[in-house]
Structure 1
Amino acid sequence: MTNPSSRDRRRHDSLAPASAREIGRCLRSLPSFPGGGWWGLTAVVFALNLGSMTGSSTLLGRSVDLISGLAVPGFGSGRAGFTSLLVVVGMLMLVELLTRPAAAYLMFTATRRLTVDLRRRCLAATLEAPIPDVLELGTGNVMTRLTKDIDTAYRAVQSIGTRFVVTTLMFPFTFVALTLITPWYLLLLLLLPAIFAVPVKRTLDGLPAATNALSTAQARRNNMLLDTIRGMPTIRAFGVRTWATERLEHNSWNTVQREADRIPLFLRLIGTGYLAYGLLLASAIAMSTLLVAQGVLTTGEASAAVVLVVRLEMHVFNVLVFTGEIQNALTALGRAVALAMLSDNAVDAPAPGDCTGCPEVRVEHLGFRYPGGAPIIDDLSLALGPGTMTALVGASGAGKSTLAGLIAGLQRPASGTISIGGVDTSTVPDTWTARQVSLISQEVHLFSGTLREDLRMAAPGADDATLIAALSLVGLAPDSAGWQRWLPDGLDTLIGAGNDELAPEVEQQVSLARIVLIDPPVLIMDEATSEAGSDNARSLEQAALAVARGRTSLVVAHRLDQAVVADRIILMDRGTVIEDGTHADLLSAGGRYADLHARWSGSRKGD
């Protein structure tokens, strides 16, 4: 996947919609894709519907011959022939009325099953895809593709699917009926596409880009909305509500503008439709009049031809209006299918066995930059010794969290390699990396359900005693104050969305307990104990240290008290290592770390 410039990333989506061929291939691979029986039955139903429509229109036109005293093949002449013709027309109209809902039922049921399977496929692909690809898309974008885009495609089928198929097939059925009256009408059918094909194609070519731009703007707006809701406490604390609302308003108006950009394309289509149909009708009347005057056609045959053309009026404009909606639906479906194909980017190679013991983590000549930006990390090399705890310290923007994310597999390095236990992580599935490396940050997610269910996601076969032992190790023993206050029903306590919120430090302890149960060989903690101002700050720090023991650990230390207990301290600045050593060694060196520690110690005494 290429990395566009930052300006391009603001304008375009990082994952383009799938092509029509890819959409077809994906849909055919779904379990609920209709079989041959469904296609055969659907074809019969539509053929009956369209045949009855063109047949009734032709016979109504031929009734003029009966009124004029002429005979119509199959019906004879006079009142008896006219009566028989009307009976047949009525029967054809009844078939038309009955087959339309039958066709709709066949399409709706098949489409609904496909949407369920496609949503499942999209979610599975998101869970299996490389994490950097998912993060690049953004939460709002993934949600838009999983929900709105699939629903957009289904609603299009539900609202116009049957009419679109009928409209599309009505043209060839009508053209065949006109040709059966006289081959002279072929001149009209060949002339009009030659005149209007190019302008219509140019207009249609612009619709996919305009539609995808709209979907991208909507996804960006959703991301902004999610970001605002998640950052509500910070927004309130900083008093920047006006900034937040103006930012969201800007993105909302951008979505409105992208919608407005599509309007001229539809207006151009409608104008072309008026011109094309007007020319077709005028030409049909003129040719019919000429053919009657030349004795080539009877008045009834000419009337039948004109009726067939008149009945096309609705379908001409349906094509133009539906084309935009179908294009919108296809683009939305393409976006969803592209998400369903996201896991195709995963490394398809046999995964080695999991690391045993405490592996070494080695970073060699690592480089990383965000698209269009300056390097965050440039030619960085270091090694984390097996079973050691290393603390990263430095000012904000030094590259600490970026390095942690790269080792955890959340980002792809622009250059260099990262190896765990001698295995280059770029050559193995990221599921292998996820099993070896666990990252804990200040953002903790607890799944809705009981505490037992949440913990067993980390260890499905664990019994209650094992779960309680993991909780006890991180300071949540059954006799602890935290257990008594926040977990009144013990392992049966309902947690997560829809239930009473736990204290932030308790949520973090539950997260640490899951790490104990997963037992990864490498642990990275990035602001994992950020609740230092809480009453349980000390126990949370101790819990983190307990979990880190016996593993190769990396701690992104935003406070120096997190660093002093580490086996090794690395001071970073602008993506490079400035100082490296133990706490005592760095103090003795009298460098920048010593200055930082002196200022921190002074502030602690002041408190």
Structure 2
Amino acid sequence: MTPGSSATGHHDALAPAPLREIGRCIRALPGFPGPGWWLLTVAVFGVNLASMTGSSTLLGRSVDLISGLSVPGFGSGRDGFTFLLVVVGALMFLELVTRPAATYLMLTATRRLSVDLRRRCLGATLEAPIPDVLQLGTGNVITRLTKDIDTAYRTVQGIGPRVVVTALMFPFTFVALTLVSPWYLLLLLLLPAIFAIPVKRTLTALPAATNALSTAQARRNNMLLDTIRGMPTIRSFGVRRWAVERLERNSWFTVRREADRIPLFLRLIGTGYLAYGVLLSGAIAMSTWLVADGVLTTGQAAAAIVLVVRLEIHVFNVLIFTGEIQNALTALGRAVSLAMLSDNAIDAPAPADCTESPEVRIENLGFRYPGGAAIIDDLSLTLEPGTMTALVGASGAGKSTLAGLIAGLQRPSSGTISIGGTDTSTVPDTWTARQVSLISQEVHLFSGTLRDDLRMASPEADDATLIGALTRVGLGPDSPGWQRWLPGGLDTLIGAGHDDLAPEVEQQISLARMILIDPPVLIMDEATSEAGSDNARSLELAAQEVARGRTSLVVAHRLDQAVTADRIILMDHGAVFEDGSHRELLSARGRYADLYARWSGSRDDG
């Protein structure tokens, strides 16, 4: 199951799993009930339904006793009537007792399954190919992990037992009516013949409308997350109105998708009124004819009518619940498709990790977004082992795209990327992630102590090793950054819920994690973009320290690192425009020389 190519539009990048796949996934969960649970649940529901239909039938037959007739098993007269009422009362009590028992059985099993499914979805997200996860988007993943699973659980919690009762009530009632008189079969066969086609058409349209709504909600969530994350930029640019209007447009799009579903539900309800009207009037007419013909007693006819009357709520339940069930199945299908996302991962044996800085070979590389122009077209180059290569060029030249492709964040449209002689398209992306680490200008610190954050990179590292890595990037105990921002040392609480650190300190912590991970290949995508701060030089030195001895690729926002790199590649429109060392490119007096002259001049002016 591979995400589609429409993640950037209003269509979902990952369609809901079909019913068969949903069933297969749910049955494979650890909390799926065993045979004992099924036998007990079937028994409880069976007793509940038998009690309901039995009490209805006996209530109708009480008319015969009132009329002076006898009823098999109860006799006649006052004693027979009293005995019948006692049995009816017992059946109603049994019905009331078994209903909460059935509800308890269903909800406990469903809650376990929802926890298991959420765990599997999260695991699949972490194990799935990174391009697939990125294509879905953060909001979409969160919606599937939370809202979609909750929707399925709340549906079972709200209507699950009633759905089962309703589904079983029809066959139980039909059997009871047939036992009263086989003539009622004609009426029961007439209803599906009349209403099957319109109901089927409505139900066929519901899944697409439901998934369109879920997709719109996921897109709105993505937009909301994007707005919150970009709050500082929105404020500094003074574009609050634009941000609100953008979110408002997506919210109204979601409202319109919800409105598309309303006529379908109204059509179902209208069909329900008509179907029940035909059923009830037909039962009354048939009962009247059978009594007049002497085929049935008045009590038998009354029993048949009571059985039909008790079906009223279940007729509407079928139609109303059908929409909710369809909605729940679509939501569940979306969650299951996320749980199956890791099935798309390459399951081939991974080669041994690189023990030394490897060669990175890029051959005939091409990349384009679906329906768009090529970002990179037929690019070939080799990053020599243990060297630092700097990528420079204007915004949109393809620098970050190339970095993301090497790191495995995107799949090439064509060509190959090899690390140490291994084609990354033939191995699990977990192998690629172990060989290549990417640092971007967006740093995420995990909530907890600084020690906990660093040990995610090296779980076995002791405090001395952690402090050593921080010292190498200029954040040792004697540094101003440590004394100002890390008063608790390694016990300082960082990340969400705690005081924000300076951006350059966050970046230094990120660089220290790279030293602890010790990847053979390092990519820094504008990782020192905070170099305009007072700690500019220390941050640049920290980046150089981390890159030392590794095959490194630096997307240079400033030219500081480009100057010290072994090789500089100037990209333009996804192609290599100039290639050489700093000195060689200056001697060539080409575009890089002009770029460097403007940059160094503006730096001197500053």
Q: Smaller-chain TM-score range?
A: over 0.9
Q: Following the alignment from structure 1 to structure 2, what is the Cα–Cα distance between the partners of residues 517 and 320?
A: 60
Q: Following the alignment from structure 2 to structure 1, what is the Cα–Cα distance between the partners of residues 54 and 411?
A: 63
**Structure 1 position 605, deviation (Å):** 2.1
Please name the residue that 2:248 is paired with: 249
Q: Following the alignment from structure 1 to structure 2, what is the Cα–Cα distance between the partners of residues 2 and 573?
A: 32
Q: Deviations over 1:234-284 (max 9, x none)?
A: 000100000000000001111111100000000010111111111111111
Please name the residue that 1:43 is paired with: 42
Give the letter for the 1:42 counterpart: T
Matched, 1:384 2:383: yes
Give the letter for the 2:437 counterpart: S
Please name the residue that 1:224 is paired with: 223
Provide the secondary structure at the position in 1 that maps to 2:314.
Answer: helix
Please name the residue that 1:522 is paired with: 521
Q: Following the alignment from structure 1 to structure 2, what is the Cα–Cα distance between the partners of residues 4 and 165?
A: 36
Give the letter for the 1:386 counterpart: P
Q: Following the alignment from structure 1 to structure 2, what is the Cα–Cα distance between the partners of residues 66 and 400?
A: 91
Give the letter for the 1:553 counterpart: S
**Structure 1 position 562, deviation (Å):** 2.3
Please name the residue that 1:356 is paired with: 355
Q: Following the alignment from structure 1 to structure 2, what is the Cα–Cα distance between the partners of residues 3 and 123?
A: 17
Provide the secondary structure at the position in 1 that maps to 2:357.
Answer: coil
Provide the secondary structure at the position in 1 that maps to 2:294.
Answer: coil
Give the letter for the 2:278 counterpart: L
**Structure 1 position 9, deviation (Å):** 4.6
Q: Following the alignment from structure 1 to structure 2, what is the Cα–Cα distance between the partners of residues 332 and 517?
A: 41
Matched, 1:213 2:212: yes
Q: Following the alignment from structure 1 to structure 2, what is the Cα–Cα distance between the partners of residues 249 and 421?
A: 49
> Within 5 A, what are the aligned runs for 1:448-597?
448-597=447-596
**Structure 1 position 106, deviation (Å):** 0.6
Matched, 1:262 2:261: yes
Please name the residue that 1:337 is paired with: 336
Please name the residue that 1:138 is paired with: 137
Matched, 1:110 2:109: yes
Q: Following the alignment from structure 2 to structure 1, what is the Cα–Cα distance between the partners of residues 364 and 291?
A: 86
Give the letter for the 1:120 counterpart: R
Provide the secondary structure at the position in 2 that maps to 1:10.
Answer: coil
Give the letter for the 1:438 counterpart: S
Q: Deviations over 1:54-95 (max 9, x none)?
A: 000000001111111110000001111111100000000000
Matched, 1:442 2:438: no
> Within 5 A, what are the aligned runs for 1:193-342?
193-342=192-341
Please name the residue that 2:166 is paired with: 167
Please list every run of 5 or more consecutive structure 2 residues that lacks an aligned counterpart in the other structure: none
**Structure 1 position 3, deviation (Å):** 7.3
Please name the residue that 2:395 is paired with: 396
Q: Which runs of structure 1 show a deviation greater than 2 angstroms over 4 or more consecutive aligned residues?
A: 1-6
Q: Following the alignment from structure 1 to structure 2, what is the Cα–Cα distance between the partners of residues 176 and 11?
A: 48
Q: Following the alignment from structure 1 to structure 2, what is the Cα–Cα distance between the partners of residues 536 and 402?
A: 28
Q: Following the alignment from structure 2 to structure 1, what is the Cα–Cα distance between the partners of residues 23 and 540?
A: 54
**Structure 1 position 529, deviation (Å):** 0.5
TM-score, with structure 1 as normaliser: 0.99
Provide the secondary structure at the position in 1 that maps to 2:201.
Answer: helix
Greater shift in the superposed pair: 595-604 or 422-431: 595-604
Q: Following the alignment from structure 1 to structure 2, what is the Cα–Cα distance between the partners of residues 63 and 300?
A: 6
**Structure 1 position 191, deviation (Å):** 1.3
Q: Following the alignment from structure 1 to structure 2, what is the Cα–Cα distance between the partners of residues 452 and 415?
A: 42
Q: Following the alignment from structure 2 to structure 1, what is the Cα–Cα distance between the partners of residues 234 and 34?
A: 54
CA contact (8 A) 1:349 1:428 kept: yes
Q: Following the alignment from structure 2 to structure 1, what is the Cα–Cα distance between the partners of residues 422 and 446?
A: 32
Q: Following the alignment from structure 1 to structure 2, what is the Cα–Cα distance between the partners of residues 601 and 11?
A: 45
**Structure 1 position 4, deviation (Å):** 5.5
Q: Deviations over 1:522-568 (max 9, x none)?
A: 00000100111211111011000000000000000121222111100
Provide the secondary structure at the position in 1 that maps to 2:350.
Answer: coil
From the superposition, tell whether residues 149 and 39 of structure 1 become closer, same or farther in structure 2 (CA, over 3 Å): same
Provide the secondary structure at the position in 1 that maps to 2:532.
Answer: coil
Q: Following the alignment from structure 1 to structure 2, what is the Cα–Cα distance between the partners of residues 362 and 557?
A: 20
Give the letter for the 2:220 counterpart: R
Greater shift in the superposed pair: 521-530 or 589-598: 589-598
Q: Following the alignment from structure 1 to structure 2, what is the Cα–Cα distance between the partners of residues 400 and 544?
A: 18
Percent of aligned positions with the same letter in both sequences?
A: 84
Provide the secondary structure at the position in 2 that maps to 1:376.
Answer: strand
CA contact (8 A) 2:3 2:14 kept: no
Provide the secondary structure at the position in 2 that maps to 1:531.
Answer: helix
Q: Following the alignment from structure 1 to structure 2, what is the Cα–Cα distance between the partners of residues 364 and 104?
A: 61
TM-score, with structure 2 as normaliser: 0.99
CA contact (8 A) 1:504 1:531 kept: yes
Q: Following the alignment from structure 1 to structure 2, what is the Cα–Cα distance between the partners of residues 387 and 189?
A: 80
Please name the residue that 1:92 is paired with: 91
CA contact (8 A) 1:3 1:371 kept: no
**Structure 1 position 603, deviation (Å):** 1.3
**Structure 1 position 182, deviation (Å):** 1.1
Provide the secondary structure at the position in 2 that maps to 1:598.
Answer: helix
Matched, 1:431 2:433: no
Provide the secondary structure at the position in 1 that maps to 2:524.
Answer: strand
**Structure 1 position 11, deviation (Å):** 2.3
Q: Following the alignment from structure 1 to structure 2, what is the Cα–Cα distance between the partners of residues 249 and 116?
A: 33
Please name the residue that 2:190 is paired with: 191
Q: Deviations over 1:179-237 (max 9, x none)?
A: 11111111111111111111101100111111111111000000000000000010001
Provide the secondary structure at the position in 2 that maps to 1:563.
Answer: helix
**Structure 1 position 606, deviation (Å):** 1.6
Q: Following the alignment from structure 2 to structure 1, what is the Cα–Cα distance between the partners of residues 131 and 71?
A: 72
Q: Following the alignment from structure 2 to structure 1, what is the Cα–Cα distance between the partners of residues 388 and 524?
A: 11
Please name the residue that 1:180 is paired with: 179
Q: Following the alignment from structure 2 to structure 1, what is the Cα–Cα distance between the partners of residues 475 and 604?
A: 31
CA contact (8 A) 1:4 1:371 kept: no
Provide the secondary structure at the position in 2 that maps to 1:498.
Answer: coil
Provide the secondary structure at the position in 2 that maps to 1:440.
Answer: strand
**Structure 1 position 2, deviation (Å):** 6.6
Q: Following the alignment from structure 2 to structure 1, what is the Cα–Cα distance between the partners of residues 402 and 510?
A: 22
Matched, 1:19 2:21: no
